C-alpha cells in the first residue's frame, strides 16, 4: 500500500526539481522500495506526484532494468557477468549459486527467500567476480566466499563484514580486495538498495 | 614491493614526484568522507579560493590552462566545452555531472563517490560557478546505492555548512544541487539520453544537433561533465593549473585513474600521469599477468575500444598514443586477457552486453547487435561457417555510424578488431568445432568426437 506519508515523500522529491516530471525515477524507486515491486497503485501514485499519465509511468518502468512489476525474493542476489567478471570466473560463480539455491538465473526460490539473477557490469571490475545482495556489494567472490556468503544469508545475517571497503595497497592502488578493515575514508555502514 | 619510478631529469623536477596521486590524494585518510575530515585535509579550500580570486570566466580559463580533458570517454577539453554555452540565454542553464558509470572495465567514479563524496560536491560547485549555473544535477547510476547515499549525504552537509544554497561562503553566488538516481540503463551514460532520463522519460538519445550546450535539459543550455572530471577540479584550483599541467604529455595533461582489471596479479584503481606506458601499469603496478601466464590482449579504454596486442605494451596511456596505436583511451578501463582466453568467447560476452543495453530506438543497433550475438554464439559453440566471419564484419559496417548515438559503434569495436588480429582463431572454431585455447578447446573437441 502507498500510504499518505509515502505520497507526501513523493511530492517532496518532486519539489527538488525545476519540473516535477524529473522526479519520475526516484519516485518509482520509492514506490518499489515501499511495496517490493511496482504495483498499479504504485504507478498511479507516482503519476500523481510527478504530473504524468499512468501509461507514461508504465512506459518508463518497462525501459529501466531496476524496476520490476512482479514480487521478488526477500534477498535479491545479482551476479555481474560482464567481461572483467567473466574473465575471472563469474559463470562458475553463477552456476555455484544456482546449484545451492536450487533456482536458475531470473528465478525466485519457492520459499520466497532468494531471487537470483545476472546483472551488467557493476563498476567493480578490479574486484571480480562480484555480486550484489539487495544492492550491497560483495567482491572477489571466490567459490569459498560464495559458500560463506550463502551460509550467512541463510542464517539471516546479511552481508555483514563481507561487504566492500576501499583500501590503499602497498603499490599505491585502490581495491576492496584482501582486507576486511577499512583504510579508506568510506566509513559508514553499507547501503541498502534505493534507500 | 616498490615501484621503479622513472629517474630522469624531467621526473626529478616534478613538484609532486613522478607518480603523484592528485585526484585520489587523500583517499587513504580515514573518514575522508566526513565533512570535517575533508576540510582538515584542504577540502573546500579550492572553492573558497575560486570564489575569492576568480571570476567565473577566469576560472574557466584556469581549467583550460590546466589542459584537463573529459574523463568519461571522448576526452574533450573541459574548459573549451564550457565555452560552448551561450553568454546569454532566455532559459536557465544547467550542469549535469555524469556518474552513470557502467562501461565494462570501468570502476573509478564509483570509488570516488564512495570514498570522497565531498570532493564530488566541491568539484561540482567549481564547475557550476565557472559556467554560471544556478542548478546542478549529479546523475548517479541506480545500481550504486552506496555511492548515491554518500554523495546525497555530502550535499546535505554542504547545505548545512553554507557551502551550497544561497550566498555560498558569503560570495553572493547561489547554487542548488540535486542528486538524481538512475534506474538501470547503460544508454543513460550517453549525454542526451541522460538528459531525457533526467526529465523523467525513457533514456532514448536525442538527435544532435542541437547540442546540449545550446538545447539541453528542459531546453536550456546544458553542460555535461564526467564525475572524475569534476572531481579533478579541486586539486587543479588548489595546486594551480601550471602545476597540474606539468604532469602528462603535451596534449594529454594531468593524471587519470586507470581501472586495471582482468588477468593481472593486482587489479585495482591506479592514478598515474597520462602518458604512463601500459607496461608500467600492467607489470610494475599490476604485478603482471596472473599465474605467470603470457599476455594475449589488452582492452585499453573500456569494452567499447579496440583490442591492443602484446607488442603494443610500451604504448603510453594518453589520448594521442592510444589512438595512434589503433584504439582509444576511452574511460581508461584497462582489461587484460591472458594467453588462455578464447577471444571469440570474450567478444561474445562483450557483445551480449551491447545487445542487452541497446535502447532499441535505432534499427541498425537494435537488430544488428542481436544478429552479432547469434553469429558469435554459433561460432563459439563450434557450429559456425567461415562466411560468418565476414558476415560479422558486414553487420558491424551496417551499424557503425548509422545510429543516433555511439552505442552501436561501441558494439563493433571488439568484433572488428579481434577478427583483424585473431582471424585464425575464428577460423579454428569453424574447422575444429572447438576453441583454440581455454576450457572450450577440449570440451568441444570431445563433443565433436562423440
Tell me the mean pLDDT in the region B147-163.
Answer: 98
Q: Is B219 on the interface with A (CB under 8 A)?
A: no
Q: Is the CB of A172 less than 8 angstroms away from the CB of B115?
A: no
Residues of A in contact with B299 (CB under 8 A): 83
Q: Which of B2, B156, B183, B366 to mutate to test the interface with A (most CBs of A within 10 A)?
A: B183
pLDDT level of residue B17 (50, 70, 90 thresholds): confident
Kindly indicate the confidence band of residue B446, based on its pLDDT and cuts at 50, 70 and 90.
low
Report the residue from B102, B199, B269 with minimal CB separation from A121: B102
Q: What share of chain B in percent tops pLDDT 70? A: 96
Q: Helix H segments across A90-177?
A: 90-101, 143-154
Report the percent of chain B where pLDDT is more than 90. Answer: 92
Q: Is the pLDDT of residue A188 over 60?
A: no
- The pLDDT value recorded for residue A178 is 73
Q: Which of B149, B178, B200 to mutate to test the interface with A (most CBs of A within 10 A)?
A: B200
Whole-number Å distance between alpha carbons of A90 and B208: 38
Q: How far is CA B217 from CA A56, B109, B175, B344, in A?
A: 19, 23, 17, 41
Q: Which among B105, B111, B266 has the least Cβ separation from residue A84? A: B105
Question: Which residue pairs, CB below 8 angstroms and at least 24 apart, start in A148-156?
Answer: A150/A97, A150/A100, A150/A101, A153/A75, A153/A77, A153/A114, A154/A113
Write down the pLDDT at residue B10: 63
**Residues 6 or more apart from A45 whose CB is under 8 A from it?**
A2, A6, A7, A10, A27, A31
CA distance A134 to A118: 13
Distance (Å) from the alpha carbon of B336 to chain A's nearest alpha carbon: 9
Of A126, A183, A195, the CB nearest to B267: A126
Residue B41, class by beta-carbon neighbours within 10 Å (0-12 exposed, 13-18 middle, 19+ buried)? middle
Please name which of A176, A174, A173 lies closest in space to residue A162, comparing C-alpha atoms. Answer: A176
Does position B330 have pLDDT exceeding 60, yes or no? yes
pLDDT for B15 equals 83
Q: What is the pLDDT of residues A3-13, one digit of tens each?
A: 999 999 999 99
State how far residue A175 is from chain B, nearest Cα, in angstroms: 5
pLDDT in tens, B157-214: 999 999 999 999 999 999 999 999 999 999 999 999 999 999 999 999 999 999 999 9
Average pLDDT over residues B337-358: 98
Contact between A174 and B268 using a beta-carbon 8 Å cutoff = yes
Whether A180 has a pLDDT exceeding 50, the answer reads no
- Residue B208 near chain A (CB below 8 Å): no
Contacts of A144 (CB under 8 A, 6+ apart): none
Residue B102 sits at the chain A interface (C-beta within 8 Å): yes
Q: How far apart are the CA of B256 and the nearest CA of chain A, in angstroms?
A: 12
The torsion angles phi and psi of A58, rounded to 5 degrees, stand at -65, -35
What three-state secondary structure class fits A175?
Answer: strand
Contacts of B385 (CB under 8 A, 6+ apart): B430
Q: Residue B334, preceding bond cis, omega within 30 degrees?
A: no
pLDDT attached to residue A187: 44
What confidence tier does A143 reach under pLDDT thresholds 50, 70, 90?
A: confident
Give residue B3's pLDDT band: very low, low, confident or very high (50, 70, 90): low
Q: Which residues of A touch B105 (CB under 8 A)?
A: 83-84, 121, 125
Tens of pLDDT, residue by residue over B426-444, are: 999 999 999 999 999 986 5
Q: In the prediction, which pLDDT does B8 show? A: 65
Statement: residue B244 has pLDDT above 60: yes
Cell of A63: 525501459
Please give the Cα distance from B224 to B98 (Å, whole number).
Answer: 7
Q: How many CB atoms lie within 10 A of CB B183?
A: 24
Q: What is the pTM of this model?
A: 0.95
Q: Which three cell numbers stand for residue B205?
A: 538519445
pLDDT of residue B445: 54
Range 373-432 of B in CB contact (< 8 A) with A: none
Question: Could you say which of B105, B142, B218 has the minimum Cβ distance to residue A19?
Answer: B218
Please tell me if residue A25 touches chain B, with a CB cutoff of 8 Å. Answer: yes
Q: What is the predicted pLDDT for the residue at B162?
A: 97
- Is-contact B301 B308, C-beta < 8 A? no
Q: Hey, are the CB atoms on A29 and B115 less than 8 Å from each other?
A: no
- The dihedral over CA atoms of A61, A62, A65, A71, expressed in degrees to the nearest 10, equals 70
B184 touches chain A (CB under 8 A): yes
For the segment B392-408, the average pLDDT, to the nearest whole number, is 95
Are residues A194 and B142, on separate chains, in Cβ contact within 8 Å? yes
Supply the ipTM of this predicted assembly.
Answer: 0.95
The pLDDT score that the predictor gives to residue A189 is 42
**Does the distance separating the beta carbons of B350 and A87 come in below 8 Å?**
no
> How does pLDDT run across A79-122, given as a tens digit for each residue?
999 999 999 999 999 999 999 999 999 999 999 999 999 999 99
Q: Would you state the pLDDT for residue B13?
A: 74
Q: At what angle do helices B108-115 and B145-160 cross, to 10 degrees?
A: 40
A28-80 pLDDT per residue, tens: 999 999 999 999 999 999 999 999 999 999 999 999 999 999 999 999 999 99
Which residues between 104 and 133 in chain B have a beta carbon less than 8 angstroms from any beta carbon of chain A?
A: 104-107, 109-111, 114-116
**B282 contacts chain A (CB < 8 A):** no
Closest chain A C-alpha to B27 CA, distance in angstroms: 6
- What is the predicted pLDDT for the residue at B444? 54
Give the one of B142, B284, B286 whose C-beta lies nearest to A66's C-beta.
Answer: B142
Mean pLDDT across the stretch B325-336? Answer: 98
Tell me the count of A-B CB pairs closer than 8 A. 230
Coil, strand or helix at B297 = strand
Q: What's the pLDDT score for residue B14?
A: 82
> Chain A partners of B32 at a C-beta cutoff of 8 Å?
184-185
Say whether residue A19 is in contact with chain B using an 8 A CB cutoff. Answer: yes
pLDDT of residue B448: 54
Q: Does B173 touch chain A (CB under 8 A)?
A: no
Å between A65 CA and nearest CA of chain B: 5
Contacts of A84 in chain B (CB under 8 A): 104-105, 261-262, 335
Give B306-353 as a DSSP string. Answer: --B-GGGTT-BSSHHHHHHTTS--TT-EEEEEETT--HHHHHHHHHHH
Distance from CA of A181 to the nearest CA of B (A): 11
Q: Which residues of A touch B37 (CB under 8 A)?
A: 185
Mean pLDDT, range B354-369, rounded to an integer: 96
Q: Is B268 on the interface with A (CB under 8 A)?
A: yes
Is B89 near chain A, with CB under 8 Å?
A: no
Q: What is the pLDDT of residue B39?
A: 98
CB contact under 8 A, A88 and B262: yes
Inter-chain CB proximity B29 and A185 less than 8 Å? yes
Contact A84/B116, CB-based, under 8 Å? no
Can you say how many angstroms the Cα of residue B411 is from the centroid of all Cα atoms in its chain?
16
Type and span of the H or E element at B179: strand B176-181
Tens digit of each residue's pLDDT (9 = 90 or more) over B23-51: 999 999 999 999 999 999 999 999 999 99
Cis (ω within 30 of 0) for the bond into B126?
no
Q: Is the bond preceding residue B120 a cis peptide, omega within 30 degrees?
A: no
Amino acid at each position: 500500500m502507498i500510504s499518505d506519508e509515502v505520497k507526501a515523500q513523493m511530492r517532496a522529491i518532486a519539489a527538488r526539481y525545476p519540473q516535477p516530471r524529473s522526479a519520475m525515477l526516484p519516485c518509482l524507486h520509492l514506490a518499489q522500495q515501499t511495496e517490493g515491486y511496482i504495483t498499479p497503485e504504485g504507478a498511479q501514485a507516482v503519476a500523481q506526484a510527478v504530473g504524468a499519465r499512468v501509461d507514461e509511468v508504465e512506459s518508463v518502468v518497462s525501459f529501466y532494468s531496476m524496476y520490476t512489476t512482479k514480487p521478488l525474493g526477500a534477498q535479491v542476489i545479482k551476479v555481474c557477468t560482464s567481461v572483467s567478471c567473466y574473465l575471472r570466473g563469474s559463470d562458475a560463480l553463477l552456476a555455484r549459486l544456482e546449484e545451492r539455491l536450487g533456482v536458475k538465473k531470473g528465478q525466485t526460490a519457492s520459499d520466497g527467500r532468494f531471487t537470483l539473477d545476472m546483472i551488467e557490469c557493476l563498476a567493480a571490475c578490479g574486484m571480480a567476480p562480484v555480486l550484489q545482495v539487495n544492492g550491497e556489494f560483495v567482491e572477489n567472490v571466490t567459490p569459498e566466499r560464495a559458500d560463506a556468503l550463502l551460509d550467512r544469508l541463510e542464517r539471516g545475517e546479511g552481508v555483514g563484514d563481507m561487504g566492500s571497503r576501499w583500501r590503499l595497497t602497498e603499490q599505491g592502488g585502490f581495491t576492496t580486495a584482501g582486507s576486511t578493515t577499512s583504510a579508506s575514508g568510506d566509513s559508514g555502514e553499507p547501503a541498502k538498495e534505493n534507500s | 614491493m616498490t615501484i621503479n619510478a622513472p629517474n630522469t631529469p624531467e621526473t626529478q623536477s616534478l613538484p609532486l614526484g613522478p607518480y603523484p596521486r592528485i585526484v585520489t590524494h587523500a583517499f587513504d585518510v580515514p573518514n575522508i568522507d566526513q565533512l570535517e575530515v575533508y576540510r582538515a585535509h584542504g577540502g573546500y579550500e579550492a572553492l573558497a579560493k575560486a570564489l575569492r580570486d576568480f571570476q567565473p570566466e577566469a576560472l574557466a580559463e584556469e581549467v583550460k590552462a590546466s589542459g584537463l580533458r573529459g574523463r568519461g570517454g571522448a576526452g574533450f577539453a573541459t574548459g573549451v566545452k564550457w565555452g560552448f554555452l551561450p553568454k546569454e540565454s532566455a532559459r536557465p542553464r544547467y550542469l549535469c555531472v555524469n556518474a552513470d558509470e557502467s562501461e565494462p572495465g570501468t570502476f573509478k567514479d564509483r570509488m570516488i563517490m564512495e570514498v570522497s563524496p565531498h570532493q564530488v560536491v566541491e568539484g561540482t560547485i567549481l564547475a557550476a560557478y565557472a559556467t554560471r549555473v544556478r542548478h546542478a544535477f549529479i546523475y548517479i547510476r541506480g545500481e550504486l546505492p552506496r555511492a548515491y547515499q554518500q554523495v546525497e549525504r555530502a550535499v546535505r552537509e554542504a547545505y548545512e555548512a553554507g557551502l551550497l544554497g544561497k550566498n555560498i561562503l558569503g560570495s553572493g553566488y547561489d547554487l542548488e544541487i540535486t542528486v538524481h538516481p538512475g534506474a538501470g540503463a547503460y544508454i543513460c551514460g550517453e549525454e542526451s539520453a541522460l538528459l531525457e532520463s533526467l526529465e523523467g522519460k525513457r533514456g532514448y538519445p536525442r538527435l544532435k544537433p542541437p547540442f546540449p550546450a545550446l538545447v539541453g535539459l528542459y531546453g536550456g543550455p546544458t553542460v555535461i561533465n564526467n564525475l572524475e572530471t569534476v572531481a579533478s577540479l579541486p586539486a587543479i584550483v588548489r595546486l594551480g593549473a601550471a602545476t597540474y599541467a606539468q604532469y602528462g604529455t603535451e596534449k594529454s595533461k594531468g593524471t587519470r585513474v586507470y581501472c586495471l582489471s582482468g588477468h593481472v596479479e593486482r587489479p585495482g584503481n591506479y592514478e598515474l600521469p597520462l602518458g604512463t606506458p601500459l607496461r608500467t601499469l600492467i607489470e610494475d603496478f599490476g604485478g603482471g599477468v596472473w599465474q605467470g601466464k603470457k599476455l594475449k590482449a589488452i582492452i585499453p579504454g573500456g569494452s567499447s575500444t579496440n583490442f591492443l596486442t602484446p607488442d603494443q605494451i610500451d604504448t603510453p596511456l594518453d589520448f594521442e598514443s592510444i589512438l595512434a596505436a589503433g584504439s582509444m583511451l576511452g574511460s581508461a578501463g584497462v582489461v587484460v586477457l591472458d594467453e588462455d582466453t578464447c577471444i571469440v568467447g570474450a567478444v561474445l560476452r562483450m557483445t551480449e552486453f551491447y545487445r542487452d543495453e541497446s535502447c532499441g530506438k535505432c534499427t541498425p543497433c537494435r537488430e544488428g547487435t542481436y544478429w552479432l550475438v547469434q553469429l558469435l554464439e554459433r561460432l563459439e559453440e563450434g557450429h559456425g561457417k567461415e562466411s560468418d566471419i565476414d558476415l560479422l564484419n558486414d553487420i558491424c559496417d551496417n551499424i557503425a555510424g548509422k545510429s543516433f548515438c555511439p552505442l552501436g559503434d561501441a558494439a563493433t569495436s571488439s568484433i572488428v578488431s579481434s577478427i583483424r588480429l585473431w582471424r585464425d582463431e575464428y577460423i579454428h572454431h569453424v574447422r575444429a568445432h572447438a576453441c583454440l585455447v581455454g576450457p572450450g578447446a577440449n570440451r568441444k573437441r570431445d563433443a565433436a568426437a562423440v
